[in-house]
Structure 1
C-alpha cells in the first residue's frame, strides 16, 4: 500500500543564468523550484520521491518553523541534500528518467517541522534542451495510530498454553472457598459460646480483699 503524500504547491521553475536572460540565447543550466505546504503547515518529512527528467545534480533545501519559534523569527534555509548526482554522465541517457527516493536517513539535517522546500536542479550538459523533476511526492513521517498501538499490545498477551500453565500452579478455587466458609462457621460458634459476664474488681468497700489474693 502506497504511502499518502501531503498536499503541496509547486511554483514554476526559476532559471538561473549569467548575463541578460532576454538577450542571451544560451540555455540556463540551473533551475530553482520552490515547494510550499497549505497555510505553511509544518510537515515532518520522511521521504521525497520523484521521476527524474534529465537533471544531472540535485540540491534540496528546507525551511523549518518549530513550535517554540515565534512568527517574527525568520525561517532559515538548511541544506538536506547537496549536489546529489542523478545522472552518472550528464551527456548520456543513463539515469535521465529514473525514479528516485530520498529517505530521511539520507538527509544532512533534521527534516521535522518543514514549511517549504527548495529544489535546485543543475544540468551542465548543453545536449538536453530541458530538464526537470516529475511526479514529485512528499511523504510525511508515519504516526502510530491508537488502533495500531492496541493491536501491538494485544499481540504481546500470553498465549493460551502459557495461561493454562499459570492456572496449574494456583489452588482449586472451590476448595479454597469451602475452607474459608468452614473457618467462618467456627469463628461464629466461638463468638456465640464466649462468656459475656464481666469480671469485677477484687475489692470490698474500696479495699482489696486479702482472701482473694493469691501468694506464690
Structure 2
C-alpha cells in the first residue's frame, strides 16, 4: 500500500501567554487536502524523544436531519513510546499502529491531531518524524485485481473444477475483444528470444529506451 498524500504541520508546543517554558506537550496536525474523507488502516512514524502519544481524529457524521456534523474522537490514548522518559530506550524507534491498537474505528476521517507528551526535562525538543498514514484496503479493489478466467492456464481450470461445457479461454478472450492467449504467448516468447540474442551480442544496448545522453531524439520517436 502507498501512503496517503497528507499535509503534516510542524509541532506546536503548548505555552501560556507569551512566556517560554518547557511544557512537555506538543501537537502535530495532519490534514488530507486531496481527499474528502479517508478510512485509516495503518499509521507509521519514527519517534523523536516522545514518551507518550495521543491521537485525535476528526470524523464526519450524518445527523438524522441529513446534515453533516464533525466530531473529535480519541483514536489512541496515552500510548507509551519510551519505557522510561528519562532514558533513550525507544526514543528513535520505528512504530506501526494497526487497527488492534485503535480505540475506535477510524472511518470518514478528515483531520488528525498527534498529541505528544514528554514529562522528562532531559529532552528540550521532541516530535515525530516520517509520519505516514495508510488507507484501509477496499475489498472491491482486491476483487478487481483477481486473474480473469480466460487468462488461467488449463491446469488452473482443472484444479478449480470447471465444466467441459464452459467456453475455452481463447473464446472468452475473443468475446472481450482481446487476442488469443496462445498466440499472444507465442509472440512474447519470440520477442524474449530476440531480446536475449541482442543482449548477448551487444550487452550495452538497452531495449525500449529512446534517450540519447539523457535527452530524447525526436527522430526515434513514433506515434501509432
TM-score by length of 2: 0.62
In the other structure, the counterpart of 2:10 is: 12
1:120 aligns with 2:120: no
Deviates most, 65-74 or 40-49: 65-74
Deviation at 1:70, TM superposition (A): 8.4
TM-score by length of 1: 0.64
1:23 aligns with 2:19: yes
Contact 1:40 1:116 in 2 (8 A): no
In the other structure, the counterpart of 1:84 is: 79
Contact 2:5 2:34 in 1 (8 A): no
Unaligned residue ranges in structure 1 (runs of 5+): 168-216
| Cα distance between partner residues in 1 of 2:2 and 2:157 | 32
Task: Sort the Cα spacing of 1:54 and 1:148 in 2 relative to 1 into closer, same or farther, 3 A.
Answer: same
| Cα distance between partner residues in 2 of 1:70 and 1:93 | 52
Please state whether the residue corresponding to 1:105 is helix, strand or coil. helix
1:60-93 deviations in Å (ceiling 9; x for gaps): 0101125778895431110010000000000000
Deviating 4+ runs (over 2 angstroms): 66-74, 143-158
| Cα distance between partner residues in 1 of 2:67 and 2:94 | 39
In the other structure, the counterpart of 1:206 is: none
In the other structure, the counterpart of 1:180 is: none
Rg (Cα) greater in structure: 1
Deviates most, 38-47 or 121-130: 38-47
Contact 1:57 1:87 in 2 (8 A): yes
Deviation at 1:29, TM superposition (A): 0.6
| Cα distance between partner residues in 1 of 2:64 and 2:49 | 39
1:169-180 paired onto structure 2 within 5 Å: none
Unaligned residue ranges in structure 2 (runs of 5+): 165-224
Task: Sort the Cα spacing of 1:148 and 1:156 in 2 relative to 1 into closer, same or farther, 3 A.
Answer: farther
In the other structure, the counterpart of 1:171 is: none
Task: Sort the Cα spacing of 1:159 and 1:100 in 2 relative to 1 into closer, same or farther, 3 A.
Answer: same
**Aligned alpha-carbon RMSD (Å):** 2.9
In the other structure, the counterpart of 1:177 is: none
Task: Sort the Cα spacing of 1:159 and 1:72 in 2 relative to 1 into closer, same or farther, 3 A.
Answer: closer
